[in-house]
Chains A and B, each alone.
Chain A
């Protein structure tokens, strides 16, 4: 554990490798989930007619995390796709989180603060109840 936290163990190069890997894993995982959800969705609804001409917002349960999970339990393909999309949105946000950790290990406190500000802006847009506007 001590070795994991030492500066030499996590050189600059390693952090770049780690961030690169995390981004790739995030994109691949979410595309697989989107694909699997897509198969279920097309099997259930493939014969229906698409309707995107007038804006009505997505159907209930697709615009929040608890709703997405409820739908997955009911075997709804759309909700599985949406889970993949949420994971995709989370991928660059997780990257920011990793960077906080990386700058902390480098003892670059200025950039720990800068990274936390970015994280703060995203959190604000996430939980700020902006949808009520």
Chain B
């Protein structure tokens, strides 16, 4: 295989990843690492660097739209970014000391968790009770537009959410993913933030979190232009196409199919990690 054909196949694969990722809401980054390592036998360290750059691209691209709509809670995002960036730097630092096959196993587990999260029943448990003094002092409570009216919500369990976000940041820095599923878990289940706000705010934070560890990986030589070029362009085009299709498509079946594919890939990552092949 020549670099030209390798690049074109990778471009098509990344396009598909971006398209499915945006249609299902799981993000394209999650399949980049298995695509590169299992599909193209790329060393996992190059794959991590590439996936990290791809997640900055998709996150910044879609965040620009959400921020303008006023759904994103910028103060909440900014406050929690202290946790995610600190975690990301720690994750990128400890990555050097962890054998690559262990990284592959951890990655597989997070992938399965993300797939399970996308299947979970969504029951919203937000409230307008102002119970957290910390949330009040930090001005984290907010409002968002929904069908012509303004819905207000109050944030709870700030320390618990902060702790979970630090963990999400470590995973992001270690594995090169946005770890959106962990971020949403922290915001939905612990801090009791409405879905619309938590998904857009999580997406808003992914870019900064990934950038914090990307500077470390870039200096370490993990970020290879030959891989990033087709992957970034493909994922961006796919995500853009997906956002156009989203209105028409029936995402229920897509979500199930994508979830099954991801679980399969995750098991293969874990299997190869246990065998020491990655």
Contact = CB atoms under 8 A, between A and B. Distances in A.
Interface residues of A, number: 63
A69 interface: no
A105 interface: no
B64 A133 contact: no
B147 interface: no
Interface string B51-68: 001001101110111011
Contact of B67 (A19, A62, A117, A130): A19
A132 to B, nearest CB: 9
A46 to B, nearest CB: 4
Contacts of B86: 121
A108 B137 CA distance: 12
Contacts of B29: none
Interface in B1-28: 1-4, 6-7
A92 B207 contact: yes
Contacts of B138: 110
Given A55-B46, A86-B218, A133-B96, A16 B70 contact: yes
Interface of B: 1-4, 6-7, 36, 40-43, 45-46, 53, 56-57, 59-61, 63-65, 67-68, 70, 74-75, 78-79, 81-82, 85-86, 88-89, 92-93, 96, 138-139, 207-208, 210-216, 218-230, 232-233, 236
